[in-house]
Amino acid sequence: DIFDSDWYTSRSLIGGADIIVIKYSVNDKTSFQDIKESYVPMIKKALNHCSVPVIISAIGARKNGVPCTCPLCTSDRRSCVTTSEGVHLAKELGATYLELHTLNDFYIQKCFGDVLEYFMIQSLNQKSSEKMKKRKKTQKCHRVQPPQLEQPEKMPILKGEASHYDADLHNLLCCCQCADVAFCPEDLSTVVEAHKVILCSASHLFMLLFEVKSPADIHDASIVHMARSLFVVEAKAAHGVPPGVPPVRVVVKDAIFCSCLPDILRFIYSGAFQWEQLEEDIKKKLKDPEKTEHVLEKVKCILKTPGKLNTVKDCRSHQIKRLYNTSLRLFFNTPVLADVIFKIQGATVPAHRAVLVARCEVMAAMFNGNYLEANSILVPVYGVSKDTFLSFLEYLYTDSCCPASILQAMSLLICAEMYQVMRLQHICELYIITQLQSMPSRELASTSLSIVSLLKKAKFHNSDCLSTWLLHFIATNYLIFSQKPEFQDLSVEERNFVEMHRWPSHLYLKQLADYRNYVHSQKCHCAVM
């Protein structure tokens, strides 16, 4: 769950940990590769900003005995993780490597427990030494003490919004807006509408069916055979079909599979990771184990990666989770299957109405209402740069964004407010806040970035959380911002707020001046000198 969050949340959670424990089975090479490719880079990146001890635990006894270390012998390496691979991973992270052959009292208590206890004691010792240093500072001479500078007021906490990416695509299937393909049985009795770009993002078979890829590109005879034996495309339409053209009709040859098609499409549109739920739905509908297995095998083939064996495990949640975030990226800023073209700053940007309608309510109204854009392929865009609009579209397709700077994040925030995509607006707010918080005082004093200008834009574009935070930020860094010309651009109301919440306060500065006068009047000298 930590790594499903955005990078800044993950980094703060890792930094707040006492110890990071990475566990894998020595007999599960897939899980080890998943750790190595997905989680280790994130942890390495986080450890650049904090110091947290890491323990790598290899669990279990290798089933095929001691692996051969000869470079030519790779058979046993495919099925189990060697000690050298685990040690190499530990060196890469600067971690402690442990092999626990079985999860009994000896290995857990003596081996793992002792290492864990060692790091806990180190952590406690470090914290206690910091407390002692603070105590020694306070135990100084009992003459007139300097004024105590209180901590600045706590900044408002900005909470992120949960992703509703899968729900958006599922709702698109329910409302059937911008559908460009219609599935029906051979007797044409029923019709189930869908969207090519969503289907192709989930399956190489649908890419073949809708001519996004050719059989030579697939390199898998089973997928080609399944596409030809299961579906027939009656009227093939060219890519970029104008609005108002009827959907392409696809006849499903298998009547049993066709009866389960609504459940299968719901599974694909919901993110294609609820395999157990799909199994349950088809069992209830067919009430026949053989027919159920028949349909599920076809679904596995539809979701199959070319050249790989098809197993039930591949269809489990942890294998196909977050499918769209990577697969829909293939269709971002590409003319393949595109049915709308945005014209912006003299350039053209292709897109897909189905994705836009599902992810953005403003565009849903624009493409389905009584507007000029509803019946036009070429749509002009004003008031935003091409780079910003591309970043906006990238978020709609992938549910993620990574601004290059604070100014780019503010431009993207303005675009998100214009199209009423609130979650993207919150992500941009969080990015701006994180970047400003990590900026040292010296850099803040010398930067040409105008914080007051950011405040004005945040207020104008209804970003209440960011504008409130920026006011607190200016007040907290009063001594820096009060010396800048832009400080004079604050309104009377804003100036009053900053003066009321400024840090350090007027009272502290007066006490500090009195203390300095006292020191000079007593002709005090430094005890060390």
Distance of alpha carbon 86 from alpha carbon 68, whole angstroms: 15
For position 308, what pLDDT does the model report? 64
Considering the domain architecture, whether residues 383 and 353 belong to the same structural domain is answered as yes
Lowest mean pLDDT among 59-73, 100-114, 320-334: 59-73
Whether residue 4 is predicted with pLDDT greater than 50 in this model: the reply is yes
In sequence order, the 6+-apart residues with CB closer than 8 A to the CB of 463 are 413, 417, 425, 429, 457
163: Cα within 13 Å, side-chain hemisphere: 19
Q: Which band of pLDDT confidence, cut at 50, 70 and 90, is reported for residue 190?
A: confident
Both tokens of 18, joined, read 């006492």
Domain assignment present for 314:
no
Considering the domain architecture, whether residues 378 and 473 belong to the same structural domain is answered as no
Q: Which band of pLDDT confidence, cut at 50, 70 and 90, is reported for residue 62?
A: confident
Domain assignment present for 443:
yes
Considering the domain architecture, whether residues 185 and 274 belong to the same structural domain is answered as yes
Element of type H or E holding 90? helix 83-93
| Partners of residue 56 on adjacent β-strands | 22, 97
CA angle 339, 344, 350 (to 5 degrees): 25
Whether residue 112 is predicted with pLDDT greater than 90 in this model: the reply is no
Whether residue 14 is predicted with pLDDT greater than 80 in this model: the reply is no
CA angle 247, 250, 253 (to 5 degrees): 160
Domain assignment present for 410:
no
Return the residue matching tokens 């959907």.
Answer: 247
Domain assignment present for 156:
no
Distance of alpha carbon 283 from alpha carbon 278, whole angstroms: 9
Whether residue 426 is predicted with pLDDT greater than 90 in this model: the reply is yes
For the domain that residue 366 is a member of, what is the CATH number?
Answer: 3.30.710.10
* Nearest in space to 148 (alpha carbons), one of 515, 528, 526: 515
Whether residue 319 is predicted with pLDDT greater than 90 in this model: the reply is no
Q: Please check whether residue 489 is in contact with residue 452, taking contact to mean a CB–CB distance below 8 angstroms.
A: yes
Lowest mean pLDDT among 87-96, 115-124, 178-187, 440-449: 115-124
Element of type H or E holding 442? helix 441-446
For residue range 258-309, list pLDDT tens digits in order: 999 999 999 998 876 788 889 999 999 999 999 999 999 999 999 887 766 5
Domain assignment present for 51:
yes
Lowest mean pLDDT among 244-253, 342-351, 381-390, 479-488: 244-253
- Full-model pTM: 0.67
Distance of alpha carbon 36 from alpha carbon 231, whole angstroms: 40
Cis status, amide bond into 53, omega within 30 of 0:
no
Q: Which band of pLDDT confidence, cut at 50, 70 and 90, is reported for residue 141?
A: very low
Domain boundary residue, one of 378, 400, 422: 400
* Residue type, position 37, single letter: E
Q: Please check whether residue 319 is in contact with residue 276, taking contact to mean a CB–CB distance below 8 angstroms.
A: no
Q: What strands, in cross-sheet order, belong to the sheet with 96-100? A: 20-25, 54-59, 96-100
The per-residue pLDDT of the chain, averaged, comes to 83
- Residues belonging to the chain: 529
Distance of alpha carbon 28 from alpha carbon 155, whole angstroms: 46
Whether residue 528 is predicted with pLDDT greater than 60 in this model: the reply is no
Distance of alpha carbon 445 from alpha carbon 447, whole angstroms: 6
Considering the domain architecture, whether residues 199 and 291 belong to the same structural domain is answered as yes
Number of domains in the chain: 4
Whether residue 320 is predicted with pLDDT greater than 50 in this model: the reply is no
Distance of alpha carbon 487 from alpha carbon 506, whole angstroms: 18
Considering the domain architecture, whether residues 283 and 326 belong to the same structural domain is answered as no
* Residue type, position 487, single letter: F
In terms of residue numbers, what domain contains 212?
A: 175-235+244-303
Cβ neighbours of 525 (radius 10 Å): 8
For the domain that residue 249 is a member of, what is the CATH number?
Answer: 3.30.710
Q: Please check whether residue 155 is in contact with residue 469, taking contact to mean a CB–CB distance below 8 angstroms.
A: yes
Q: Tell me the mean pLDDT in the region 476-491.
A: 93
Q: Which band of pLDDT confidence, cut at 50, 70 and 90, is reported for residue 126?
A: confident
Cβ neighbours of 451 (radius 10 Å): 21
For residue range 209-243, list pLDDT tens digits in order: 999 999 888 888 899 999 999 999 986 555 555 56
Both tokens of 471, joined, read 């006011």
Considering the domain architecture, whether residues 213 and 271 belong to the same structural domain is answered as yes
Considering the domain architecture, whether residues 353 and 326 belong to the same structural domain is answered as yes
For position 10, what pLDDT does the model report? 72
Lowest mean pLDDT among 60-69, 97-106, 485-494: 60-69
Domain assignment present for 141:
no
Whether residue 350 is predicted with pLDDT greater than 70 in this model: the reply is yes
Distance of alpha carbon 241 from alpha carbon 223, whole angstroms: 26
Considering the domain architecture, whether residues 384 and 282 belong to the same structural domain is answered as no
Considering the domain architecture, whether residues 349 and 377 belong to the same structural domain is answered as yes
Distance of alpha carbon 204 from alpha carbon 14, whole angstroms: 37
Considering the domain architecture, whether residues 275 and 339 belong to the same structural domain is answered as no
Q: Please check whether residue 182 is in contact with residue 249, taking contact to mean a CB–CB distance below 8 angstroms.
A: yes
Considering the domain architecture, whether residues 182 and 276 belong to the same structural domain is answered as yes
Q: Please check whether residue 388 is in contact with residue 412, taking contact to mean a CB–CB distance below 8 angstroms.
A: yes
Domain assignment present for 358:
yes
In sequence order, the 6+-apart residues with CB closer than 8 A to the CB of 472 are 153, 155, 156, 501
Q: Tell me the mean pLDDT in the region 13-35.
A: 83
Element of type H or E holding 284? helix 275-286
Q: What is the DSSP letter of 341?
A: E
Distance of alpha carbon 37 from alpha carbon 131, whole angstroms: 39
- For the chain, what percent of residues have pLDDT higher than 70? 85
* Nearest in space to 435 (alpha carbons), one of 465, 458, 402: 402
Output the DSSP codes for 385-421.
-HHHHHHHHHHHHHS----SSHHHHHHHHHHHHHTT-
For the domain that residue 46 is a member of, what is the CATH number?
Answer: 3.40.50.300
Q: Tell me the mean pLDDT in the region 78-86.
A: 83
* Nearest in space to 52 (alpha carbons), one of 129, 115, 119, 117: 119
Considering the domain architecture, whether residues 186 and 267 belong to the same structural domain is answered as yes
SS3 letters for 334-358?
CCCCCCEEEEECCEEEEECHHHHHH
| Alpha carbon of residue 158 to chain centroid | 17
Domain assignment present for 143:
no
For position 317, what pLDDT does the model report? 43
